[in-house]
A and B are shown apart, each in its own frame.
Chain A
Amino acid sequence: MIEHDVVCPFCGCLCDDLELETEEGKIVKVQNGCALAESTFMNDVRLPAPIRRTETGWEDISYTEAIKETAEILQGADRPLLYGWSSTHVEAQSIGVHIAELIGAVIDNTSTVCHGPSILAIQEVGHPGCTLGQVKNRADVIIYWGCNPVEAHPRHMSRYTTYATGFFVPNAQLERTVIVVDTRRTDTAGIADEFVQIEHGGDYAVLSALRAIVRGKTSVIPAKIAGVSKEQLIRIVEICKTAKFGAIFFGLGLTMSRGKYKNIRNAIELTDELNRHTKFVISPLRGHGNVYGSNEVFTWMTGYPFAVDFARGIAFYNPGETTAVDILRRGECDAALIVASDPGANFPRDAAAHLAKIPTVIIDPHVNATTALSRIHIPCTAAGIDAAGTAYRMDGVPIRLKKVIDRGYMDDAEILKKIYDHLNGGKGP
């Protein structure tokens, strides 16, 4: 059987034009997808049943037992941490928020180690953006800054930017100028019309120089800024100012390097500045398929996109304090529920190590590094493969992930709902 217009749940592009061939409840072929999509659908090896760590090894347990023990762990904790959420659907995410509210937990999502700094910057200066179709149909200048879509978002360029045919840009490849800014000469840099190689930690200075040139203060710029020549900077400003529609996409090269959210703030303010000359937009390249959905859900339910602490009864937000890495680093939490993510692999070692010291439960379809650090691992459906639900694309467009096959697993939303019911004396959220 062929399924058309399937949505790939892997990255924030949420490409929705995949064709999947299924045979007897198995996916046998993926068309239109990138290598990441192919791997997501084809090499989907699951943990077969819930497991619990014993003194000497691992034992299989029932879902009922796993859910009950998870609820008891959370119930008994003084400062539980609920972390992850980015690879599942909105339905599970919202039950997660309800659990956190009920037990006074800290709830955080993976943007904390991804675009958390972008959110901090947006909270200072706002976000001039748009949906990806605006870029596809209009943009004649594309800037990729501190990101590597060839590796991280392989179809971003063909679906939305460089190679995408747009209404006002019928000959995409000829009509679009691509600028890549990075410390490394990545594969993305290889296709750039202009590649700007910045010294490590030099982003902020280069952004400031560009803003100065846009404002006509060229004379204050020295001959070289963070390894970039003044001539090149002037050339880039010229390209931007004469663009009909320019779009900046940025990645972890800005959020994780020195300056962090200040880099993003500067990039947004450059965009603002350029809007006084032409049309310019800026957008983060969001990583996980539904990380933006977790920000959206957290926001409409609690008021904050990530790092929400319910310990005081109200929703409290203070990144740097209520963010997952900091809570773990300080050894503050005494239980953790990890959903649809892998902090064991993605957090610095001290933070990850604390997970092994406390009762940690992970709900995730796959065995991952966090499994080893956990007391219980409960497998579940994978949103977009054997479970349907909402995911928010990196530009905020909500798309319904499809259930393509049935593998007999319980939906994580259902598992979480049962945990909630346990915690709430049998009553649902």
Chain B
Amino acid sequence: MKCILNTGRTVPQGAYVEHKGSDAYRSVASAGFLNPVDMMMLGIEDGDRIRVTTPAGHIVLTARPAEGVARDEIFVAIGPYANHVISSETHGTGMPDFKSQSADVEPTKEPLKSVGELMEALGGLHYDRT
């Protein structure tokens, strides 16, 4: 499904923002909110995994239904999951397209990555001793 990737702040994302290694953070930052009609069209249920692909890359998220999300839109809390597929082009403004990245959403069986794994994919090394 072709759609617009929209991102924004949420209370749980904010509450766990200083605990990025936690399961709780992973669960809020990796949720992809879709209009229930779109979920039906994709043939997926609450909690199923989806693969979101953009020119910048792809990411696996957990699909969640949300009435407030428009058709052909996917909403993800700001954070490393959404950013994994957002282009760093700023069109000369300094600001990437955090709310208007075009994306392709499809069902998948691939596993969800942790924040640490995402950072390691970028060349980092996860620190897990706290």
Contacts and interface: CB of A to CB of B under 8 A. Distances in A.
A and B touch in the complex (CB under 8 A): yes
Contacts of A36: 11, 14-15
B68 A257 contact: no
A175 to B, nearest CB: 27
A40 B18 CA distance: 8
A350 B130 contact: no
Contact of A112 (B11, B80, B95): B95
Interface stretch (A18-26, A63-71, A184-192): A184-192
Given A252-B99, A326-B94, A349-B83, A372 B125 contact: yes
A151 B125 contact: no
Interface string B1-30: 000101111110011111111000000000
Nearest to A150: B11
A160 interface: no
Contacts of A112: 94-95
Interface in B44-80: 56-57, 66-70, 73, 75, 78-80
Contact of A373 (B9, B11, B86, B124): B124
A183 B83 CA distance: 20
A319 B18 contact: no
A346 interface: yes
A225 interface: no
B129 interface: yes
A372 B116 contact: yes
Interface stretch (A46-54, A129-137, A208-216, A293-301): A46-54
Contact of A325 (B96, B123, B126): B96
Interface in B109-130: 115-116, 118-120, 122-127, 129-130
B20 A200 contact: no
A221 interface: no
A107 interface: no
Interface residues of A, number: 81
A260 interface: yes
B8 A325 contact: no
A28 B19 CA distance: 19
A200 B95 contact: no
B120 A372 contact: yes
Given A329-B88, A367-B20, A120 B93 contact: yes
Interface string A338-358: 000010111111111101110
B38 interface: no
Contact of A350 (B56, B119, B125, B129): B56
B122 A353 contact: yes
Contact of A348 (B18, B69, B87, B100): B87
B10, B16, B88, B129: most-surrounded residue (chain A CB, <10 A): B88
A355 B125 CA distance: 12
Contact of A148 (B8, B21, B66, B92): B8
B70 A58 contact: no
Interface in A319-334: 319-321, 323-326, 328-329
Interface of B: 4, 6-11, 14-21, 56-57, 66-70, 73, 75, 78-80, 83-100, 115-116, 118-120, 122-127, 129-130
5 contacts: A43-B18, A116-B94, A151-B8, A348-B87, A367-B21
